[in-house]
Structure 1
């Protein structure tokens, strides 16, 4: 019975749970953290290199042709959701530790997920091809947009968004992706043939980044830093963000008069937020010392978005004309 329940939980959620538990019991500290940070940087480079190999240039060009879908989606993801994160951050300020409040703003400025948004879009009957390209393009855009957008909306004190940080982002995220795109003729057949292995390498890279960040949070006393009432407040704020994200994206897609398949894809891509890009960017902008606490809203949101998406996708799949 227990095995059946666990098998229904998203593998990424299970891996994150194990990672957080490991960081709690055996956090990387001192020289160990430096080693873990170096391994994390290498894993992040590999992660974005594989993503560059995986997303074909032809798909990118086809996806760019859906401007009526992509432009509003980018505006929603980096506009409306960023403002919602800013509002949540201001609301949390004074009630929650500074890093947690900053984390809500950081959450709002991130790109969508790729794998989970696409998977749930497929389950719900959305346009899978558009979902894949849209989410991938949002992640590429997010590499350039998240840091300056975070600073613009009031995150100056929370992060290093100078040329040094942007240089690290380019070196660890953009450069490997560009290399992957350039080497598709050589490496893409391997990635396609061993898709499952590559997927687990992706997850492992994310887990390492989260482990490094959360180790610092544990060292700072994350489990003692928040009272039960504060954890409850975090949950309430995240619930409000989720309702805004899913319902808002759905109704915006409806106002744009997108067909049902495109509307479903728009909603999942617009409501999801990515740990894949979030964890590496947080480590670069905030350093491991602060990134752990700042990632708390993102990690919790990631878990909740999957919990919400599963029954929602099932409902959409069963109804020809769903309403939210």
Structure 2
């Protein structure tokens, strides 16, 4: 029997529909009292396990080899933790005309979050860019973000961040960095198992994020904060985020050219330097914002879907560049005219939209 697949032309990622469904479930049946404590503990454990899997998947040799391309990684880190926050600060002038204070706080937090891992790799592969560089850039950004994001939040958000403290940093390190390092240490023994069962473990990725979303929005419902957001405000937020994404995509692409990077490196810089991680941002927001995390992560959730849709289109266009077609011909790859597919070693062909369905 032929397996049903989500149509590749459908603009909305089915995983985003699950996220929206989870928000709806939290609105109708929010976790309260003991249930809230259980959900919070389960989400903390799920995210820790998620980063354990990240650590177990990353090849230590690939990470060390990636250090040789330090200029590219410094460029991506600068885009993620310098340029993005500066644009976030510049958006303060939009408050309160376009954005409420809480939505602006969420937008600014979005600009502080590290880059993605899986989707950066997938889009770079589709566009026939430097995939090893994308692997390392996304991983380095996620690791740096465990420390850099809370520190930037302390400086730029202040009391809006729920009262950042050394205890907050310790919680984030214990929840994200320690499991990641444990996965790296155990990779020698469990790496093969994870590779063989990566499809099943992918559901763990997505399930972890859904659990964190349910917990965060349940807390928001219990606190009664949803009356603060109107349809007009949400439309204004989407417009601001579309402009933010367009600026970053242009800066990473043309800035990479100005810095002397080749086509493959520029592709890796564009996809790793213009995106923000939902997987890293959600647990950090839960620690930093507490009961107000639901509004804080709303801009990140919307930006996450927007970046996947836009980057899927860009990746397919990059794959049809004359340079990409010529390189594919030299490598004996797919002929010109065929749809661009993900050629990551060990992975079967996948369309751009399908490849983009990642929890990060």
The two structures have a TM-score, normalised by structure 1, of 0.92
Contact 1:105 1:155 in 2 (8 A): no
For the aligned residue pairs, the C-alpha RMSD in angstroms reads 2.2
Q: Which residue of 1 aligns with 2:58?
A: 55
Q: 1:296 to 1:250 in 2, by over 3 A?
A: same
Bigger CA drift: 84-93 or 141-150?
Answer: 84-93
| Contact 2:98 2:237 survives alignment (8 Å) | no
Are residues 1:295 and 2:297 paired?
yes
**Could you say which residue in structure 1 is the equivalent of 2:249?**
246
| 1:309 aligns to 2:311 (yes or no) | yes
| Unpaired runs of at least 5, structure 1 | none
Q: How does 1:227-238 map to 2 (within 5 A)?
A: 227-238=230-241
- The alpha carbon displacement at 1:89 in A equals 4.0
1:24 aligns with 2:61: no
Question: Quick one: distance in 2 between partners of 1:9 and 1:318?
Answer: 23
Structure 1 residues 149, 183: closer, same or farther in 2, change over 3 A? same
Gaps of 5+ in 2: 325-360
- 1:103–1:267 Cα change, 3 Å: same
Alignment of 1:201 with 2:196, yes or no, is: no
- TM-score, normalization by structure 2: 0.84
Q: Aligned pair 1:123/2:114, yes or no?
A: no
Please tell me whether residue 320 in structure 1 is matched to residue 322 in structure 2.
Answer: yes
CA distance in 2, matches of 1:2, 1:184: 32
1:171 aligns with 2:174: yes
Is the helix fraction higher in 1 or 2? Answer: 1
Do the aligned residues in 1 keep the contact of 2:158 with 2:164 (CA within 8 Å)?
no
Q: Runs ≥4 in structure 1, deviation > 6 angstroms? A: 5-8
Q: Is the 8 A contact 1:86 1:108 kept in 2?
A: no
Following superposition, the deviation at residue 115 of structure 1 comes to: 1.2
Distance, in Å, in 2 between the alignment partners of 1:100 and 1:249 is 26
1:135 paired residue number: 138
1:117-153 deviations in Å (ceiling 9; x for gaps): 2111111121112111110110011001001012222
Alignment of 1:150-189 (within 5 A): 150-189=153-192
- The aligned residue for residue 106 of structure 1 is 109
- Count of residues paired in the alignment: 321
